[in-house]
């Protein structure tokens, strides 16, 4: 027999007392049949608690874990309203990020946290915006007007509620030219709840 927490013991005791009281009400106290009935009930209860324990410890596969992070596998230049494709996946639990389109599709309604950072080479600019179904939600600028040895990184983060099926991606805020340095430019996100 496993050991129970005090809360679990209280529930079991209450049930045993309830069953005992019911038996007395029916006039068959100490009846062997009643004892075996209570034992059966206890055993099912034990199994139920064991199962709930497993669920709370998450030993079962957790279906709704969602987290991704992907970086630019090579340096890229984008023009116009093209979605930036972070093609080198670091992690993609839940497979909600598509490496060929650059889009993350919310697999479930919930609150999501996104982050993205961008490196501009010397004399190069980029203006990454976070979009949801064509609507801009956040923007940043990496206008690198510095000398030949100046590299510029910008980074941003945003939490927002999404409905199942909504698409999240990064592209230039106004369709300007963007030149992105590989590896140092990345996009990630996680389902918070």
Ligand X SMILES: *[C@@H]1O[C@H](CO)[C@@H](O)[C@H](O)[C@H]1NC(C)=O
Kindly list the residues in this chain that would bind ligand X in the complex (CB under 6 A).
47, 50-51, 54, 59, 98, 100-101
Q: Which residue's CB is nearer to ligand X, number 104 or number 117? A: 104
- Cα–Cα distance between 87 and 89 in angstroms, integer? 6
For the bound state, the minimum distance from the C-beta of residue 105 to ligand X, rounded and expressed in Å, comes to 8
Contact 113, 168 (CB under 8 A): no
Burial of 73-109, coded b for 16+ CB within 10 Å and e otherwise, reads eeebebeeeeebbbeeeeebebebbbbeebbbbbbee
Q: Which residue's CB is nearer to ligand X, number 33 or number 60? A: 60
Q: Which residue's CB is nearer to ligand X, number 84 or number 117? A: 84
Max Cα separation, the chain? 95
Q: Which residue's CB is nearer to ligand X, number 7 or number 100? A: 100
For the bound state, the minimum distance from the C-beta of residue 147 to ligand X, rounded and expressed in Å, comes to 40
Q: Which residue's CB is nearer to ligand X, number 18 or number 51? A: 51
For the bound state, the minimum distance from the C-beta of residue 55 to ligand X, rounded and expressed in Å, comes to 9
For the bound state, the minimum distance from the C-beta of residue 128 to ligand X, rounded and expressed in Å, comes to 21
For the bound state, the minimum distance from the C-beta of residue 83 to ligand X, rounded and expressed in Å, comes to 11
DSSP 3-state percent helix, strand, coil across the chain (nearest 5): 25, 35, 40
Looking at the DSSP bridge assignments, the partners of residue 158 are 114
């Amino acid at each position: 027999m496993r050991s129970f927490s005090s809360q679990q013991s209280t529930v079991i005791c209450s049930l045993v007392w309830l069953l005992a009281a019911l038996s007395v009400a029916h006039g068959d106290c100490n009846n062997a049949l009643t004892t075996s009935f209570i034992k059966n009930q206890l055993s099912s209860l034990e199994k139920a608690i064991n199962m709930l324990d497993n669920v709370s410890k998450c030993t079962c596969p957790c279906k709704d874990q969602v987290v991704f992070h992907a970086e630019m596998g090579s340096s890229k230049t984008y023009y116009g309203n093209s979605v930036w494709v972070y093609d080198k996946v670091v992690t993609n639990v839940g497979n909600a990020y598509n490496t060929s389109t650059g889009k993350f599709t919310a697999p479930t309604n919930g609150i999501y946290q996104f982050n993205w950072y961008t490196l501009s080479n010397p004399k190069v600019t980029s203006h990454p915006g976070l979009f949801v179904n064509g609507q801009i939600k956040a923007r940043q600028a990496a206008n690198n007007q510095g000398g030949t040895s100046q590299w510029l990184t910008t980074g941003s983060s945003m939490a927002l509620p999404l409905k199942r099926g909504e698409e999240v991606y990064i592209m230039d805020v106004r369709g300007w030219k963007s030149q992105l340095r590989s590896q140092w430019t990345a996009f990630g996100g996680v389902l918070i709840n």
